[in-house]
Amino acid sequence: DIQMTQSPSTLSASVGDRVTITCRASQSISTWLAWYQQKPGEAPKLLIYKASSLDSGVPSRFSGSGSGTEFTLTISSLQPDDFATYYCQHYNNYPYTFGQGTKLEIK
């Protein structure tokens, strides 16, 4: 199985900050990577697919980049609604696996 490792596990930031979350794959996954946002008590919500494609309706302050084994999710200017947990997920092959999550907290 491909292991997905996110860093940091927890990130404290303020409204307006620019933040970056990193996801590393244990082997190359090309650009077969998605990012999800999850708020407490809710299902994950797709933000980005194919490493850098923004899902419809997702604010442009979210962006993704990377290929191979290293990927990043960047939020250019944090909004109050962005404080949540973020997961990366590969779909290079089966089984799909997710990163352990990055909890974005208010500083």
Partner 1 sequence: QVQLQESGPGLVKPSETLSLTCTVSGGSISSYYWNWIRQPPGKGLEWIGYIYRSGSTKYNPSLNSRVTISVDTSKKQFSLKLNSVTAADTAVYYCAGEDCSGGSCYLKYWGQGTLVTVSS
Diameter over CA atoms, the chain? 38
Among 36, 62, 71, 86, binds partner 1 (CB under 8 A): 36
Find the part of the chain contacting partner 1 (CB under 8 A) among 10-18, 28-36, 65-73, 76-84: 28-36
Among 2, 44, 66, 86, binds partner 1 (CB under 8 A): 44
Taking CB under 8 A as the rule, which mask of x and - marks residues 57-86 in contact with partner 1? ------------------------------
Distance of alpha carbon 72 from alpha carbon 52, whole angstroms: 9
The answer to whether 80 and 15 have CB atoms below 8 angstroms apart is yes
Among 5, 20, 76, 100, binds partner 1 (CB under 8 A): 100
Beta strands in the chain (DSSP E): 4-7, 10-13, 19-25, 33-38, 45-49, 53-54, 62-67, 70-75, 85-90, 97-98, 102-106
Distance of alpha carbon 38 from alpha carbon 14, whole angstroms: 19
Among 11, 13, 17, 46, binds partner 1 (CB under 8 A): 46
Q: Which amino acid is at 102?
A: T
Is 96 one of the binding residues for partner 1 (CB under 8 A)?
yes
* Binding-site ranges for partner 1 (CB under 8 A): 1, 32, 34, 36, 42-46, 49-50, 53, 55, 87, 89, 91, 94-101
